[in-house]
Structure formats: C-alpha cells, structure tokens
C-alpha cells in the first residue's frame, strides 16, 4: 500500500525540515533522493559534453543522455525518439512552436484559438507570432464554473483556425479540459492542436500517439525532476518540416559561408550544450515514479484534496474557485481579505502555499478576481499535514 510518510523520507528538503508543510507542488515539486543522486552521479563520474569528441567519457555521457530521451519516449508512448525534443521547459517549448511552425505557416487572417484559462506561457508566444504574421489570437471563453466552453469553441472554430492551444489541466482550478474532443474537432478543420501538459503529465499516464495531439509539452520540475529541463513532443512530419529556431553547435551537419545544412531530428532543435544532467535526472524521476502505483498516488492525493475541500466549504466567507474533484489543487478566496494576507499568515505557521494570479491574468479577469490562494498537493503530503493546514486556515480567519 502507498505510504506517504515513507515517501516523504525520500525528499531531503522535507526530511530536513520537519516543520515545513509544502503545498505548492503545482508551482514546482520537491526532488527525491533518486533524482538528486542522478545529478550528483553525472557530475562526479560522467561529466562531459555530448555528441562531441571521441573519448570514452563523452561517449558514456552521450549514451546516458540519449537513453534518457528513450525513457521519455516510452513514458509518453511516442512513436519515435526523434519526436522528443529537449527544451528548458514548457515555456520554451511553446515559444519554439510559435517561432518555427507558426511563424512559417501563418498568414494574415489566420486564427489561433486559445483558451481563456491558459497560463501566460500559452498566450504570450501566440500574441507575439500573431503580430509577426498578421494572424489573430481568438479567445475561447470558459463557463462560470471554470470549465471549457465547448459550445463557444464550436462556434469559433472555422477554416480560419490554424492552431488551437489549450492546457491539459488548468494550473489555477485543476480543470481537466476535454482535450480528446478538442483535438478531434481541431483536426476536422485542418488545424493543429498544441496541448500544454505541464500539469496534466503529473497526474495522468499520457499516450501521445493515441491522444493524436500534434504537439504536447511539459516541464520536468513539476514531475519531481530538476528545473531547466522540459520536453516538446511533436509529430515527426511536423518537426521535419519546421525550420530550426536557435543556431549553433550540434544542430548543423555542415557550416560554410556559402551555406549551412542542418542536422536531422532531434538535433536540429537542440543547439549548443544541452542540460545533460537535467535530462538524465528527468529520466531518473520518471523511473522513480514508475516504482509506485500511479493509481494509488492519485487516490492518496485526491483524498487530501477532498478532505481540504469539505472543510473549506464549511468555513464562513471562504469561496472555493472552480473546484474539480479528483485533482491535485484547490484555489480559494476569503471575501474582503487580500489573498496575500492569507498566504502570509499560513507561511508564519510553516505552511507554504501560492497566492497571486498564478500567471493567468485572463482567467482572473474572467472571474473578476485579483488572485487566489492555491493549495496544491504532491506525492509527499500527508493526512496529518492537511489536518494542520485546516487548523492554520481557521486561525488565519480568526486573525483576519
């Protein structure tokens, strides 16, 4: 049986701070010893550049680096390892798509449909490329309960649409979008679907081949891996047709002043020295997660969420925003009280939560809010922590 108390011992940042209750995993997760050891082992015994040189150290580093790519390929069930591109994170992955596929293919009058609930990383890159090409970014609204407005989406979707960009799961309300239906409808009008999986990859086993998304992307640091490493999955034919984005070493076959030829995938999009340790550590995080039952992990997290939700609903002046059962986070406000004040009082009691707009200004505008308090659970959180959280919230309410 899954035991969060035993799992917690595998996280040095938590084990060394017994009083810390970390409830901000939607922002970034803490890192288990297995991941930390993978980084340490690389720098202590394998440190060398990859795809360069002829000595055994670089050959070994290259082998580990490409093995990590195969681990990710298997994890998301991509058809080819060439469909797995290393990036610095989800943000860079979306910018890569915008500045290669979108900038090459968009024309004046074309439309990019973007959900109102998106993180800024899935809005701003599309606005930039729209300005560059003459295309238009079209907002797809949400319902009052913070769910995707499928009826409005169907009205807005037309032959003008070339790209549809939506989150798998919202980072504010944990809304799980109907991405399967969205992708299917997108393809019906000849457009491509870009799925921001930064929150979704953590809580669902994703099969990109079956999902049929044209692009799916995520960050490692929300998946118990380090910061600075992410993954862009793209269909092979799309990636092959896209021009390079960054120029430099590794992404070329031959450079001369008369002309340059580029590397095949995935190297074409991986200029310069990559985050080698980060890629290896991401593979270690995936293997570590796979040592548990994902069903049991999610059942545990959902139990914590449900416990918290029930109490919040009973508290006077507390309003939960867009609650989605069986997810990992809860956003709430206290009427007449600034969200930052609540977070500060919780922090003073050793509880780390997120307060603010969560890089989702359009969603906040749609809800008529300046921000919320967000509680987000991870594999290491316990029932005892939830009980302490509830007491701390009640104390904060009494003080406010």
C-alpha span between 134 and 145 (Å, rounded) = 33
Q: Which residues contact 368 (CB under 8 A, 6 or more apart)?
A: none
Q: Which residues contact 34 (CB under 8 A, 6 or more apart)?
A: 10, 284, 285, 287, 288
Q: Which residues of 160-175 are buried (b: 16+ CB within 10 A; e: fewer)?
A: bbbbbbbbbbbbbbbb
C-alpha span between 60 and 348 (Å, rounded) = 47
Catalytic-residue membership of 146: no
Residue 281 · residue 287 · CB < 8 Å: no
C-alpha span between 20 and 266 (Å, rounded) = 41
Angle formed at CA 28 by CA 75 and CA 315, multiple of 5 degrees: 115
Beta strands in the chain (DSSP E): 21-22, 84-87, 111-115, 136-140, 161-167, 192-196, 215-219, 230-234, 252-256, 259-262, 318-321, 329-334, 351-352, 354-356, 372-376
Four-residue CA torsion sign, 395, 21, 225, 176: negative
- 192-196 and 215-219: which strand pairing? parallel
C-alpha span between 342 and 355 (Å, rounded) = 8
Q: Which of 20, 359, 369, 390 is catalytic?
A: 359
Eight-class DSSP state of 24: B
Q: Which residues contact 282 (CB under 8 A, 6 or more apart)?
A: 68, 71, 72, 220, 223, 225, 226, 229, 231
Of 38, 175, 260, the C-alpha closest to 46 is 38
Residue 282 · residue 226 · CB < 8 Å: yes
C-alpha span between 27 and 290 (Å, rounded) = 22
Catalytic positions, please?
359
């Amino acid at each position: 049986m899954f035991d969060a108390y035993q799992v917690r011992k595998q996280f040095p940042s938590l084990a060394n701070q017994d009083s810390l209750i970390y409830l901000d995993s939607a922002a970034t997760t803490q890192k288990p010893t297995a991941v930390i050891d993978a980084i340490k082992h690389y720098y202590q015994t394998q440190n060398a550049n990859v795809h360069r040189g002829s000595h055994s150290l670089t050959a070994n580093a290259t082998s580990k680096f490409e093995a990590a790519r195969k681990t990710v390929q298997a994890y998301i069930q991509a058809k080819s390892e060439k469909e797995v591109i290393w990036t610095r994170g989800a943000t860079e992955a979306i910018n890569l798509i915008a500045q290669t596929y979108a900038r090459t293919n968009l024309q004046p009058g074309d439309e990019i449909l973007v959900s109102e609930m998106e993180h800024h990383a899935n809005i701003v890159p599309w606005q930039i490329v729209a300005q560059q090409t003459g295309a238009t970014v079209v907002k797809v609204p949400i319902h009052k309960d913070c769910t995707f407005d499928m009826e409005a989406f169907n009205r807005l979707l037309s032959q003008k649409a070339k790209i549809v960009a939506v989150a798998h799961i919202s980072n504010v309300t944990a809304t799980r979008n109907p991405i399967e239906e969205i992708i299917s409808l997108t393809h019906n009008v000849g457009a491509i679907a870009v799925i921001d999986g930064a929150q979704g990859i953590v809580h669902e086993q994703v099969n990109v081949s079956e999902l049929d998304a044209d692009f799916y992307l995520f960050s490692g640091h929300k998946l118990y891996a380090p910061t600075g490493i992410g993954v862009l999955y793209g269909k092979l034919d799309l990636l092959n047709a896209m021009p390079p984005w960054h120029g430099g070493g590794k992404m070329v076959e031959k450079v001369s002043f008369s002309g340059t030829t580029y590397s095949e995938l995935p190297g074409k999009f991986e200029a310069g020295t990559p985050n080698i340790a980060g890629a290896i550590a991401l593979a270690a995080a995936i293997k570590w997660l796979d040592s548990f039952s994902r069903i049991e992990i999610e059942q545990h997290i959902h139990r914590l969420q449900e416990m918290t939700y029930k109490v919040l609903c009973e508290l006077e002046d507390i309003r939960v925003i867009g609650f989605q059962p069986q997810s990992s986070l809860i956003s709430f406000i206290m009427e007449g009280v600034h969200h930052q004040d609540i977070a500060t009082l919780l922090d003073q009691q050793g509880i780390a939560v997120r307060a603010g707009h969560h890089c989702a200004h359009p969603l906040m505008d749609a809800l008529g809010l300046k921000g919320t308090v967000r509680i987000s659970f991870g594999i290491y959180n316990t029932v005892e922590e939830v009980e302490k959280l509830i007491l701390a919230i009640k104390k904060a309410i009494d003080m406010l």
